[in-house]
Structure 1
Amino acid sequence: MTRNNPPRQLRARLLDYALLLRLDRPIGSLLLLWPTYWALWLAAEGMPQTGNLIVFTLGVFLMRAAGCAINDFADRKVDRHVKRTKDRPLTSGRIAPWEAVALFAGICVLAFLMVVLFTNTLTLYLSFGGVVLAFIYPFMKRHTHLPQLFLGAAFSWAIPMAWAAEAGEVTRLVWLLFTANVLWTVAYDTFYAMVDRDDDLKIGVKSTAILFGDADRAMIAVLQALVVLILVLVGRQAELGAAFYLGVLAMACLFIYQQHLARFRHRDGCFRAFLNNNWAGFAVFLGLVTDLSMA
């Protein structure tokens, strides 16, 4: 055995940790990343500080991984009854519950140290809210049909943090952007919840997909329309130009395409609609960066 060939058991354990943290599925990190970048670029009115860009890019990936660990801890007993999640490392017993909690705590500490060392006091205070939201979200699906709303708040908390780090304050425009992202998260995570709706109904897990019932696509469309409207208001208040609005228009067109993908409510179509939101977030970011670079 050589140093370059670690034991098979160690490789298997590291792979299970990677699967627990969803390192093989970056879609969640990307859906967190684009709104964070919206906030950084808007707060800077152009290219943000390099330090903030690095901290929040790494922070997004770290906190998403932490969220996955605590989510699987919370769902370890119900995931075995869901087709999509029954083989996850924690559910199948390949990783112990305490390991998931330890990973969550360790990653949160690492992200917190980054905030302490490289940002300001206001961002530090805001970071506590982010940790609380990341921890409580996974448990909400047992108590309310609106766990997606808590996910939206957790996924959006990087917006005021990024703005505070870049601008040293939090303005009303921040909360407008925050609201748009919360609504967008509820919309795309309802598509995601539609994938598991049949299993969730059997085991008693709650979601907006169950709450909306046959009106699911209509409610998603309403949420998507509100997202577009609020982003237009953001553009007006920030005095942005045509390139930004083209990005918002591209997002609206992708929303229509998502409705088409999920028209039959099949698992695959709903999941593809969920994944397509990565491009919707990127379209707005591209429009914003283009507009600010032309200013």
Structure 2
Amino acid sequence: MTARADSLPDAAPRNWVDRHAPGWLRPYARLARWDRPIGWWLLLWPCWWSAALAAIAAGRSFPVLWHLAFFLVGAIAMRGAGCTYNDFIDRDLDAQVARTRMRPIASGAVSARQAAVFLVLQALVGLAVLLQFNAFTIWLGLASLLVVAFYPFAKRVTDWPQVVLGFAFSWGALMGWAALFGGLGFAPLALYAGAIAWTIGYDTIYALQDREDDAVVGVRSTARLFGGRARLGIALFFALAILLFGLAFVAADAGIFAFGGLAAAAAHFAWQVATLDPRDTASALRRFKANSTTGWILFVGLLLDAALRF
């Protein structure tokens, strides 16, 4: 099975957009990355971890189900809106990079005006979801837009754009806790910091695919910054993530199952680093996508801890 000629290289072959979406919808689906669900999973996991950790701290046997459902819808909508905004800002750069030159705006499949309308529609879905929560969570969610707005420009001004992405993509680590408690504490802040370190690690893996093209067009990244020490840099940030997640679990009074999940996640990180070939773009993409499994490992550990510790 092979991908369509107009599919993007990091989309799964024979994904549902290629197979089932009507022709008029395909460019918008690709713009929102509906053919590449790994992005919204990575945005969702900190939300679900936070909701599960909050359940443990509150003595609940399970997170609030409607919180989990709204976080899922919000992650899909806001990841799509963020990608649309990012591609709008980066349309000239994308046209110069082999992996991104067929993105809908850069290729002309979607005009800048059409992209702007699509961005607003997705943002409205995200807003509708956000308004279902308490006032503190609503304002907290709106504050994240400041980071999101800056992200596309970060790779032009710093070698650490992955840090800015971490601030944005990890925001859910605050949201799940705030949705239950109406405030924050040390546990969600440590979880947020850990998720930032995790994001730096997996997005450095992702950026390995573009190091040569990025050097030509002047795009900066931790993958370029670390150079031949990319695996070491990734390993250090994954290790920092595990340490910070552990502090969050201690602060929330998590038990053996949560820490068992943390140990399994650490083993999964070790596998990623040990088997990564920084020179092989296919290897980098596979290891990047494997971080969805990391999300499941931690989430299941937290769920079991909430359900079985009492």
Q: Which TM-score band applies after superposition, normalised by the shorter structure?
A: over 0.9
Give the structure 2 partner of residue 19 of structure 1. 30
Match of 1:204 among 218, 226, 237: 218
C-alpha displacement at 1:261, in angstroms?
2.8
Output the CA distance in 2 between the equivalents of 1:52 and 1:73.
Answer: 31
Q: 1:57 aligns with which of 55, 72, 91?
A: 72
Give the % identical residues: 38
1:30 alignment partner in structure 2: 41
2:73–2:129 contact (8 Å) kept in structure 1? no
Taking the aligned partners of 1:110 and 1:277, their CA distance within structure 2 comes to 26
CA contact (8 A) 1:130 1:158 kept: no
- Aligned match for 1:90, one of 88, 92, 105: 105
Residues 122-178 of structure 1: per-residue CA shift (max 9 Å, x gap)? 011112222222222112111111111111010111221221111111111111000
Deviates more, 1:201-210 or 1:78-87: 78-87
Distance, in Å, in 2 between the alignment partners of 1:44 and 1:95 is 43
The aligned runs of 1:87-236 (5 Å cut-off) are: 87-116=102-131, 118-236=132-250
The 2-side partners of 1:88 and 1:196 are apart by: 15
2:300 to 279, 283, 286: 286
2:283 maps to which residue?
269
How far, CA to CA, are the matches of 1:240 and 1:161 in structure 2? 19
Residue type of the partner of 1:223?
F
Can you give the 5+ residue segments of structure 2 that lack an aligned partner in the other structure? 1-20
Q: Secondary structure at the match of 2:157?
A: coil
Q: Specify the code of the residue in structure 1 equivalent to 2:234.
A: I
Tell me if the contact between 1:108 and 1:131 (Cα under 8 Å) persists in the aligned partners: no
Residues 231-288 of structure 1, C-alpha deviations (whole Å, 9 max, x = no match):
2222222222221112111111111111133235311111111111111111011111
Query: Partners of 2:149 and 2:272 in 1: how far apart?
Result: 30
CA contact (8 A) 2:186 2:248 kept: no
Query: Counterpart of 1:79?
Result: 94
CA distance in 1, matches of 2:179, 2:257: 26
Distance, in Å, in 2 between the alignment partners of 1:120 and 1:52 is 11
Answer whether contact 2:230 2:278 (CA < 8 A) is retained.
no
User: Using the alignment, how far apart are the partners of 1:51 and 1:255 within structure 2?
Assistant: 31
Letter in 2 for 1:108: A
| Shift of residue 49, structure 1, vs aligned partner | 2.2
**Whole-angstrom CA distance in 2 between matches of 1:219 and 1:93:** 37
Instruction: Point out the more displaced range, 88-97 or 255-264.
Output: 255-264
Unmatched segments (≥5 aa) in structure 1: 1-9
Residue of structure 1 in register with 2:54 after alignment: 43
Quick one: distance in 2 between partners of 1:235 and 1:173?
7
TM-score normalised according to structure 2 size: 0.88
> How much does 1:97 deviate?
1.3
Q: Which residue of 1 aligns with 2:18?
A: none
1:80, 1:91 within 8 Å by CA — same for their partners in 2?
Answer: yes
Instruction: Return structure 1 stretches of 4+ with deviation > 4 angstroms.
Output: none
Once the two structures are overlaid, the 10-residue window that deviates more, 233-242 or 57-66, is: 233-242
Q: How many residue pairs get matched?
A: 285
Name the SS for the 2:22 alignment partner.
helix
The separation in 2 between residues aligned to 1:143 and 1:178, in whole angstroms, is 24
Q: TM-score, normalised by structure 1?
A: 0.92
Does the CA contact (< 8 Å) of 2:46 and 2:171 recur in 1? Answer: no
Does the CA-based 8 Å contact 1:63-1:111 persist in structure 2? yes
